[in-house]
Structure 1
């Protein structure tokens, strides 16, 4: 079983409305799709690296949106969306629906038009997905490695769990906050951007796990 990290560059006509709007909206550069419903009414949980006002400007582009619940996080905004359809291009949805692989969260959308995601499956199934995607949008492979299940009860990696533990110790989650991402980075002996990414991914995993358990 293999795990492959893909990057697809969506042309404007095939991009999701939120992704198209991302390059035009100030205050947000990254969206992570953390969890989604498998069928029926479309419900998604997303994280944005911007504040609520910027997120609401982005969501105005989604015609299928029924309701949106926004919650400010430590380093961005979470949004629980209820839509009538996904609004992905039919060509993309067809590739996804025909694939014989499993897609892992998060799916990350970036403001320069790219989307990054991981898929797990047998090598031939992943190769078939790759070929099918390349027929629709420019797609590249960023990483390939063996798939290993996460050992944390909530899917956290050891480094993400350590980052959360350190963040609590330095007061990053205290109210009022007494520690910063830079303090976490100093304790982990890594770059501030790396510490921030670890915390964002850990927080996303914890929130998605909580939502699935309800």
Structure 2
């Protein structure tokens, strides 16, 4: 689920990005009484996008989830990923509100916390793990057009902008690139890409 809006009277509108059998998803949604219009609104190479509206009260698990998270002090970050019968998401907020949300989960919902930490973290925002000089090196690189096809700038140009030697500029770029690539692979592996 990459977007949603909860309207009054427990009616929500959702946008899903589907990596898999889009026809099966649409058919299952249309067969659910609580789902009103279901529209395929676009597709790319491996992802299709579906827009639908649901009456939460008629889908018990959805109703329970929204009642649990609809509280002050809790933010559920998008995307919410359904994979292999499980829901994966990042949640942040006030510790007391988060504990209240956990305590309010019905017994039928088994919740596992994989990590507790500051938000944003490296998994949700890989730039947050980069040092200031690494971020500066990437910004200068992009500004100079180094990563464009034309290779308009050299590592020497980047080093001059950063006021350091070429080897230092190269090291900053390599470290930042490694973190960004690693974060991208983790997102793909977790189904968040």
- Is TM more than 0.5 here? yes
Counterpart check, 1:75 vs 2:40: no
Q: Taking structure 1 as reference, are residues 57 and 133 closer, same or farther at Cα in structure 2, changes over 3 Å only?
A: same
> Which residue is 1:34 aligned to?
2
Q: What is the RMSD of the two structures over their aligned residues, measured on CA atoms?
A: 3.9
Name the count of aligned residue pairs: 141
Secondary structure (helix, strand or coil) at the match of 2:65 reads helix
TM-score (norm 2): 0.55
> Which residue is 2:158 aligned to?
none
Q: Taking structure 1 as reference, are residues 85 and 129 closer, same or farther at Cα in structure 2, changes over 3 Å only?
A: closer
Q: In the TM superposition, what are the counterparts of 1:72-151 in structure 2 within 5 Å?
A: 72-85=43-56, 87-89=59-61, 90-98=63-71, 100-111=73-84, 113-133=85-105, 135-148=107-120
Question: Which runs of 4 or more aligned residues in structure 1 lie more than 3 Å from their structure 2 counterparts after TM superposition?
Answer: 88-93, 155-159, 187-191
Counterpart check, 1:55 vs 2:28: no
Q: Which structure shows the higher helix fraction? A: 2
Q: Which structure shows the higher strand fraction? A: 1
Shift of 1:68: 1.7
C-alpha separation in 2, matches of 1:196 and 1:91: 27
Which structure has the greater CA radius of gyration? 2
Greater relative contact order, per chain length (Cα 8 Å cut-off, separation 6+): 1
Shift of 1:118: 1.4
TM-score (norm 1): 0.51
C-alpha separation in 1, matches of 2:72 and 2:43: 35
Counterpart check, 1:194 vs 2:182: no
